[in-house]
Each structure stands twice: as C-alpha cells, then as structure tokens.
Amino acid sequence: MQLQFIGCGDAFGSGGRFNTCFHVTGKRANFLIDCGASSLVALKRAGIDRNGVDLILITHFHADHFGGIPFFILDAQFFAKRTRPLTIAGPRGLTDWYIRAMETAFPGSSKTKQKFELSLIELAPGQVWRRENIEVLPALVRHGPPDVPFHAYRVSVEDRIIAYTGDTEWTETLIEIGRDADLFIAESYFYEKNAPLHLSYKTLAEKLPLIRPKRVVLTHMNDDMLARKEGVEFERAEDGKTIVL
C-alpha cells in the first residue's frame, strides 16, 4: 500500500504547497486524510480518480483541512458523475460543519440530493471506528478552544499503521497515537518557536524517542521551517511525494 501527499502545505500557501490532503491506497483501501480548500485542484493535478476514493477522514474543520469538501462533493455530483457511496468521518459536529461549509461555498448546495449515498460519521475520541478493512483511532489534540474537537488519527489498514498528528501543539496523546507506527506524519510548523496550538520541529525531535515510529515525515511547514534544510534529520513531505508502506 502507499500514501501520497496530494498536499502538505499550511493554511497560507507557504512554499507554494497545496493544503493538507493525503491519499492512501492499498489492495482494498482508497481514502483521503483531510481535504483542504485547494485539494480538488491538487487531486486533479496528481491525476487521482476521485470516484475511487470511498472515505475522507477529517482531522478538524479549519479550511486548509476541510475547505475542499464542497468542491469535492459538487465535482462528484456534476462532473465526476459519482455513483459509489462516499463516507466522510471527522470530529463531533461534522454534520453541522458540513452544512455550514456547503452553504458558505455554494449557497443552497447543502440541500442538493446527491446521486450517490453520502454518510457523515462523527467519531468519538478514544474509540476505535471500524470500516471494512480500516480501523481508525481518533484522539483529541490541542489546536484551538477546548470545546471544539481537533483530532489526530492512528489508522490501521492492511497490516500497516499510519499515524497523523493533525495540527496541534505537543500533547502526550501523540505518544499513544504514533507509537511504533509504520508511518508517523507530524506537523512541524515552526523550526524552534514554541507558539501555542502548533508543533515545532525542535519539540517534535525531542519527543520522538518516546514515540519510536518506524518512519517519520514532516508536514504543514511554514516558510521558516521550509528554509531550514540543515539541521533537520527527518524526511520532509513534498506535494506529490509517495511513501510505499
């Protein structure tokens, strides 16, 4: 199986990178992790068959992770001519946020009846959610007000474990989410600045011995972090880069 970075940028286009969207494919798996505002463009640029995707896992409702949903849905309806069911799974509040996002992007669009079955699943932190051959463990991370859920994910699929921090400042939860994972995708927003609600490279590097993933890839880097080629010992994501698992 493999994971391709369709987009690994931050919210503000640092490095000219697309917003967050990872595409995971295996023998029977075909899903996205996050679908940021620019993700439909990025999926098309990467030549991805959107109708093949049957699940979109959302970490949180910021536009650079969730804002591509209205474009994906309307493209599926009107251009990709989707007929296969689609599931979107994400934090509590997903159903309301879905309607809000659709209505903001294209007023009236939340009432359009799709020609495909659409399921919106709100995931409970700490509880494994199973769907066919995929197991997803969501965990709450720290990226905004405490009453709004932000998720990291540990995904077990076809004997591999993919973990993703989402956007978050350091929290001990990440140890459980990432422990011994085959692939640990970690936000590395700043190089060393410890700003609230985001993870810096320095903090991550200090904590990684507690997590011990088999492979680490840094994502969601700002311009300063992108400029630091020296002194960064872990692999960095690139738009289009593929990791074989």
- The full length of the chain comes to 245
In the region spanning residues 168 to 197, those forming contacts with Zn ion, defined by CB under 5 A, are: none
For 12, 19, 241, the CA distances from 63, given in Å and listed in that order, are 10, 9, 22
Q: Which stretch binds Zn ion (CB under 5 A): 22-30, 49-57, 63-71, 171-179?
A: 63-71
Rounded least distance, CB 56 to Zn ion, Å: 16
168 near 193, Cβ under 8 Å?
A: no
- Tell the smallest beta-carbon distance from residue 84 to Zn ion (Å): 28
Closest CB to Zn ion among 1 and 40?
Answer: 40
Site stretch for Zn ion (CB under 5 A), options 39-47, 128-136, 156-164, 166-174: 166-174
Nearer residue to Zn ion within complex by CB, 1 or 162: 162
Q: Which stretch binds Zn ion (CB under 5 A): 42-50, 98-106, 129-137, 162-170?
A: 162-170
Contacts of 7 (CB under 8 A, 6+ apart): 17, 18, 19, 20, 21, 36, 38, 39, 42, 239
Among 8, 39, 64, 156, binds Zn ion (CB under 5 A): 64
Which among 57-65, 105-113, 117-125, 157-165 is the span making contact with Zn ion, rule CB under 5 A? 57-65
Mark the segment that binds Zn ion (CB under 5 A) among 44-52, 64-72, 74-82, 96-104: 64-72
167 binds Zn ion (CB under 5 A): yes
Q: Is 34 a binder of Zn ion (CB under 5 A)? A: no
Q: Say how many residues touch Zn ion, by CB under 5 A.
A: 3
As a whole number of angstroms, the distance between CA 150 and CA 138 comes to 9
Minimum CB–partner distance for residue 207 and Zn ion (Å): 20
Beta-sheet pairing, 55-57 with 129-131: unpaired
Residue 19 or 25 having the CB closest to Zn ion: 19
Minimum Å gap between C-beta 187 and Zn ion is: 8
**Beta carbon nearer to Zn ion, 3 or 29:** 3
Local structure of 152: helix, strand or coil = strand
The distance from CA 154 to its chain's CA centroid, rounded to whole angstroms, is: 11
Nearest to 59 by CA among 154, 184, 170: 154
Q: Tell me how far apart the alpha carbons of residues 90 and 130 are, in angstroms, rounded to a whole number.
A: 13
Closer by beta carbon to Zn ion, 118 or else 197: 197
Consecutive H or E run containing 105? helix 94-105
Q: Is 62 in the site for Zn ion (CB under 5 A)?
A: yes
CB atoms under 10 Å from CB of 86, counted, come to 20
| Cβ proximity of 156 and 164 under 8 Å | no
Contacts with Zn ion, residue ranges (CB under 5 A) = 62, 64, 167
